[in-house]
Structure 1
Amino acid sequence: MIVRRLLPGFVALCLGALLAQALAQSLGFNRLLLAIALGFVATNVVGIPTWLEPGLATHNLWLGAGIVLMGASISVDTVLEVGGPVFLLVVVAAALSLLFVELLARNVFGLTEQLGSLLAAGASICGVSAVVAVAGAISAREDQIAYAAATVLLFDAITIVVYPIVGDLLDLSGTVFGIWAGVSMFSTGPVVAVGFAHSEVAGQWATMTKLSRNALIGVVVLAYAGYYSRSGGGSRPSLRTLWDEFPTFVLGFFAVALIASAGLFSAAQQASIEHAYDWLFALAFVGLGTEIRLGNLRATGLLPALVVLLALLASSALSLTALLVLF
């Protein structure tokens, strides 16, 4: 029964990925960005039938599977060589972004505490996933969750377009561009998309950097839960809740990376795995495009969007400056 319900949408994702591949070969555009564009056109111009929606919603599953398999192409030695400074940059950038959004939301623009915290979590950690995770810890209202999620999705859509353009204009190397995207963009899907749109190296660094940032979600949820429980506005999350919200594909990614670094994959197996995650990303990004709905983006409040815009500009500028100094 579940297979019958999911199959039509999954087939639609496959057809979209194949069409993106064909268009990429004929037009010379990046296949993953074309996959997002096809999903966007399908949902905003053509319209998505309700019977396709369950299968289309599996795109996060394919993204996670692709990220896990991508670990096979990562050199642990390379990660260890430059991983310390990068992880430090991730932690500092996330902390500063979170504090900056909180400061602007509460003291400059007069937004409610809960809405400001949701915006801060979404902008500093991992997009809508962080919004949802923190919402449960601070007892946020549904309308606040909707505003924060819509704001994050708005900037996901913008950065998918803007970051590749900026990367080309500044002629950034694959390493610098990938880490910059992973440090400053919001959600995992757009980060992976723009990374691989730049280059294979950029895609790998964008993914690794974003995964390390995603792993901070548990710390942020606990911090907000502690703060709001003291003020009587939230509840302490259980270990089960924290595990449910933790991006477990991070663990799979590093496990596969360790196996590959130990030389347990043959050259043929390595090539097959790379081909598999390439197609999994294509499926995921068709589905990601269907999530970018103009109606929802128009519902974004002006003040929340302005707060997040200022935080994004500051985070992007400071992190890029730091990376250009480091690399």
Structure 2
Amino acid sequence: MRNGSNLFLGVLLLFAIGVLGRTISLALPFLDYLIATILVGVLVGNTIGKPEWAKSGIETHKLWLEAGIVLMGASVAFDRVVSAGATLLLLVVGTVVIAVFSVELLARHCFGITEKTGSLLAAGSSICGVSAVVAVAGSIDANENQIAYAAGTVLLFDTLTLIAYPAFGHALSIPDKVFGIWAGLTMFSTGPATAVGFSISDTAGEWAVLVKLARNALIGIAATGYALYYLRNSTAGATTGRANHLWQTFPKFVFGFLFVMILANVGVVDATHVTSLKHASNWLFMLAFAGLGLELRLDELRTTGFEPIAVVLVSFVVVSGSVLALLYIVL
């Protein structure tokens, strides 16, 4: 009974932080409510901390994010996706490949970072943040220190890009579609990419999520590739174990997103329900980003070493800048 009560209280705390974020955004119209919610969460998490009675509820924030993305599928026009399909696919695959190889080369030949740490940095910065770090770590038997360095670096860039991307978007007057695709292609984690996309507009948010999910879907390919590279002499049993690990770590909510998108586009979900699902998605995002803010621990980010930050920074600046320039040409 106590666990159920703690779960409810934790979710209630997320709701309170979200409402406070919305209130702040009303007083400061230039600050989107999702970004405001994250900032409130960061403030609470790094001053008061996460109360014991709320931890089980706070940990649900990833579930709310996934549920919000699934419901958001109802507002994505399928014909728009199909019309941009080939171009987007090339952009996603090309961006991921370039990001992976640039981080790997910099880590091994310029900064002397160990192979496995470099691989975790490459996976986390090119595909889906900490989720990719964990997935690839399980495939290459990385140790806790290597995982911690890579995850800490990813979280640092998640924090920085939450602030930098909206600022660049407004300062450069980047078109909504271009901004959304840019965020989806180059930001590390799904939560921050979703937040900054919707902080610009609904159009930017929808494109950011769509493109980011396409990148996330490559996690299985990346983890398999790294597993084959590091464990070429593994037994069939180990291969089966890796296959199970890849299925467990694959973001299955992607299937839900696609299912809801199809239902809406074939007319099973009418316009009224699409609007309702969109509002529900926004409230779920509010809970998710409140939890994301609470989880961002500034003291932990300070422990990340210089080398991994330098590797990812150089790769990120080159890839992000090149992708933005390319999007202006092809879109």
Compute the TM-score of the two structures, normalised by the length of structure 2. 0.96
- Root mean square deviation, CA, Å: 1.2
Which amino acid letter does the alignment assign opposite residue 57 of structure 1?
E
Which amino acid letter does the alignment assign opposite residue 19 of structure 1?
L
1:234-249 maps to which residues of 2 (within 5 A)? Answer: 236=239, 237-249=241-253
Identity %: 49
Which amino acid letter does the alignment assign opposite residue 23 of structure 2?
A
2:278 is the counterpart of 1:277: no
- Structure 2 equivalent of residue 299 of structure 1: 303
2:125 is the counterpart of 1:123: yes
2:188 is the counterpart of 1:198: no
1:1-327 maps to which residues of 2 (within 5 A)? Answer: 1=1, 2-28=3-29, 29-230=31-232, 236=239, 237-327=241-331
Give aligned pairs, total. Answer: 325
Q: SS in structure 1 opposite 2:231?
A: helix
The C-alpha deviation readout for 1:28-69, integer Å capped at 9, x for no partner, is: 121100110110000112222122122111100000000000
Q: SS in structure 1 opposite 2:109?
A: helix
Between the aligned partners of 2:84 and 2:311, the Cα distance in structure 1 is 32
Change (3 A) 1:231 1:110: farther
Compute the TM-score of the two structures, normalised by the length of structure 1. 0.97
Q: SS in structure 2 opposite 1:186?
A: coil
The C-alpha deviation readout for 1:168-224, integer Å capped at 9, x for no partner, is: 111111110000000011000000000000111000000000000000000000000
Between the aligned partners of 1:186 and 1:47, the Cα distance in structure 2 is 25
Between the aligned partners of 1:238 and 1:304, the Cα distance in structure 2 is 27
Between the aligned partners of 2:318 and 2:124, the Cα distance in structure 1 is 15
In the TM superposition, residue 11 of structure 1 has moved relative to its aligned partner by 0.7
Between the aligned partners of 2:225 and 2:8, the Cα distance in structure 1 is 41
Stretches of structure 1 lacking an aligned partner (at least 5 in a row): none
Which amino acid letter does the alignment assign opposite residue 117 of structure 2?
L
Between the aligned partners of 1:200 and 1:8, the Cα distance in structure 2 is 30
Between the aligned partners of 1:130 and 1:172, the Cα distance in structure 2 is 29
Which amino acid letter does the alignment assign opposite residue 280 of structure 2?
A
Q: Which moved more, 1:311-320 or 1:201-210?
A: 311-320
Question: For the Cα contact (< 8 Å) 2:135–2:223, is it kept in 1?
Answer: yes
